[in-house]
Amino acid sequence: MSRVELLSVHNYRSDGRRPKELRDISLSLGTHGHADGSALVSHGLTNVLVTVHGPREAKSRANTLFDRAVLSVNVDIPVFSGGQGGKRGRSDKRVLEFTSAIRQTFEPIVQTQLYPRSQIDIFVQVLQQDGGLLQTSINACTLALIDAGIPLTDYVCAITCALHDSTPLLDITSLEESDLPNLTAAVLPKSGKITLLTLETRIHVDRFEEMFTLAEDAGKVVHGEMLRAVTTRTERLVRAMEKGGVQDHSRTGIERPSARRAEMDIDMDDV
């Protein structure tokens, strides 16, 4: 498909969004009662479920670390989730790279030193994909770890940005992802640092700086959505405790009544 079809002459994308407009974001915490923490996150039509188990005793003595916990990441991309190539096994190269990217993103952020000789398991299940799979998975991992009560040094907020000629596009779909050079950035909003940056194809350095800055600002919008979801869940749990009732963990999932489309309207000359 040609690039002209991805962005109209009136500056609208194929799904009706403007270049700096994010897709609908839906965030749910505590969706699985049998896990220590869980989160279901949707960016548009891309849906990812993450469950966290642990900290718990390490399964293998050979892999035990005496000064910190081992962070284990497992990714499942079933055939019904869509995408290209059908089901990908755990030994698939793309899945291995995907798994490694998530693990390397969170190893510096999770305070594993608090749990020596233990293991924290993160299970990522892709339910549906339509672009931005890595960003959705990272955001779901952040919320699932928070739901499990595992201390993090900061939130990890990810976003994908592509380049259509000279116009950057935020939060891209699979159609845009397959045709345009793009990057995924994982931002730490409190410190302003970047814990992950991946590039798909080469991008000119001048355009890269513009895309990177835009991704940073979009990460702050995602952070605001995460804070709102965590705060709402906490308030519900507090109210349940005040009433003296025990609330089933599997029924405390928070999904905002209507997914809100967050919009980035940034004048790049002022950034």
Q: Which residue segments constitute the domains of the chain, with CATH numbers given?
A: 13-252 (3.30.230.70)
> What are the mean pLDDT values of the chain's consecutive 10-residue runs (271 residues total)?
67 92 96 93 98 91 88 92 57 88 97 96 97 98 97 97 93 94 95 90 86 93 96 87 62 41 48 40
Q: Which amino acid is at 98?
A: F
Q: Distance (Å, rounded) from C-alpha 190 to C-alpha 141? A: 18
What is the per-residue pLDDT for 91? 57
